[in-house]
A and B are shown apart, each in its own frame.
Chain A
């Protein structure tokens, strides 16, 4: 396997795509949004419970490739018990990571999400990695319309 491909499909990514965490609808969710990637037809929903500005619970459902599932799974773990502002800030750093690469962002602060760094070598896959995050952003914004990566 080429080293770029190894970076993209790291063990953690493959593991999360096969056994996604928080793959469920959050009961009594206060925020929800649908994400959609018209390029491939992938669809994903995020439900979460926001209390006093803190994400107390979050889940996602839908179908997608290994990258989009792993990104969504890792995201749910990373933003749980974070404030809305912390989650938005994390989104920005992840976005920079997958679009511009690990040199442009404080990778340390990303924790497990750093495994998504390989995506930056695959421009065609950036939308896969960011779909769940755009959907989270829409859910926190209270937007009810579905978001699209196009």
Chain B
């Protein structure tokens, strides 16, 4: 496989945080599945917004409010373009993936899930795509059902048809597993679900960072993702929803901006998307997210994807050559996530020793405890890759793991 398809050294130079030493060694950041680092372009966009344009949106008649509103709505258009939504009104700004899913649970779930109904998820979901549905099901007297995963961590597609029943009100499923890297065949799943008139929500927190996403091509009804994993700021995220679907839903939170008129007797709700954006939104966050998207578009998402696969292949081979190391999650179709266990050494100890070598990884259950139970482990160590990672980063990880083995020899 060929190299990254972009100038890796130049991309690295765009991320100021990577230019530091930690614990006396160059920083090796392999925890981008938890949060992505931010390019200078994002930091500058946020500073520029607060320095020149800050005001509240949609309300003021003055120049700053005009600029802030323009910047916020421009950001919405940037997001639309990035995920190939048909209409800019299909982009709702929220705090992050978690809030996006909760929004759907609180509106669609409350309206459509009733006693005896079912919500279908998968065994590889993050807690944020499990718990809201448990809450919906508990409140409605409905049942949560789960598509299993196989030994490699791939979705058991053979089990899907039987689980999509006339009782299923929604399929809520991740595009990419945060703990395994497995990529789910969303288009095929949407076709299966839609054949039975079941809408589909996709958790895209881990996918938009790794490869191009086209919500129209996927055909899904909802798509959720976070700004911070996408190399943008924290506190901003997106819920995409098909316009017809969004227009059929009750409001989410009540407050300013989500209304057209309010009397003490009656409120007329605003149009989509503002109906779902009560209160002052995170304007700077939206501006920062748009800057991150423009940055990724300049690098090219196809190139990002190629780099991801190139580095994943290198890292997989390097880790598999370490005796006693077991990769958890070896699905044929996956992104740059390497979850592993190392003999009898607990992942926390692995993480602490790697940290002393300047290598940052994630250890624990990755907010996917049911998945950990599926694989019979309490936790794993997880190295996750992003566009700024190099083969040298992977080499440092491997060297650090040798150190772990020395300590526990």
- Give residues in A with beta carbon < 8 Å to B: 1-2, 4-5, 8-9, 14, 18, 39-43, 63-67, 122, 124-125, 128
Contacts and interface: CB of A to CB of B under 8 A. Distances in A.
B352 interface: yes
Given A2-B23, A5-B353, A67 B378 contact: no
13 contacts: A1-B403, A4-B356, A5-B356, A18-B344, A40-B363, A40-B378, A41-B364, A63-B378, A64-B346, A65-B346, A66-B346, A66-B408, A67-B349
Closest 3 CB pairs of A and B: A65-B346, A65-B348, A41-B365
B153 to A, nearest CB: 18
B402 to A, nearest CB: 12
Nearest to A63: B378
B407 interface: yes
B337 interface: no
B47 to A, nearest CB: 31
B356 A2 contact: yes
Nearest to B365: A41
Contact of A41 (B369, B403, B408): B369
Contacts of B403: 1
Interface in B335-355: 344-349, 352-353
Contacts, number: 52
Contacts of B408: 14, 66
Interface in B351-409: 352-353, 356, 363-365, 369, 372, 378-379, 403, 406-408
B369 A66 contact: no
Nearest to B350: A65
Contacts of A8: 352
B378 A9 contact: no
Contacts of A1: 356, 403, 406-407
Given A2-B23, A5-B353, A67-B349, A43 B378 contact: yes
A43 B406 CA distance: 27
Contacts of B406: 1
Given A41-B365, A42-B378, A67 B348 contact: yes
A14 B363 CA distance: 20
B353 A39 contact: no
A40 B348 contact: yes
Contacts of B347: 40, 65
A40 B364 CA distance: 4
A63 B373 CA distance: 13
A64 to B, nearest CB: 7
A65 B365 contact: no
Interface string B19-49: 0000100000000000000000000000000
Given A4-B356, A40-B379, A65-B347, 19 more contacts: A1-B356, A1-B403, A1-B407, A5-B353, A9-B407, A14-B408, A39-B364, A40-B348, A40-B363, A40-B378, A41-B365, A41-B379, A42-B378, A43-B378, A65-B346, A67-B349, A124-B352, A125-B348, A128-B348
Most buried by A among B346, B363, B364, B369: B346
A123 to B, nearest CB: 11
Contacts of B356: 1-2, 4-5
Contacts of B348: 40, 65, 67, 125, 128
Nearest to A124: B352
A118 B378 CA distance: 25
B407 A42 contact: no
A138 to B, nearest CB: 20
Contacts of A9: 349, 407
A95 to B, nearest CB: 19
A82 B153 CA distance: 49
A102 B17 CA distance: 34
A42 B352 contact: no
B348 to A, nearest CB: 4
Nearest to B369: A41
Contacts of A66: 345-346, 349, 408
B346 to A, nearest CB: 4
Contacts of B349: 9, 65-67
Contacts of A64: 346
Contacts of A14: 407-408
Contacts of A42: 378-379
A118 B348 CA distance: 15
B369 to A, nearest CB: 6
A8 B344 CA distance: 18
Contacts of B379: 40-42
A5 B356 CA distance: 8
A14 to B, nearest CB: 7
Contacts of A63: 346, 378
Nearest to A64: B346
B387 to A, nearest CB: 27
Contact of A122 (B352, B363, B364): B352
A120 B138 CA distance: 43
A2 B355 CA distance: 11
Contacts of B363: 40
A41 B353 contact: no
Contacts of A43: 378
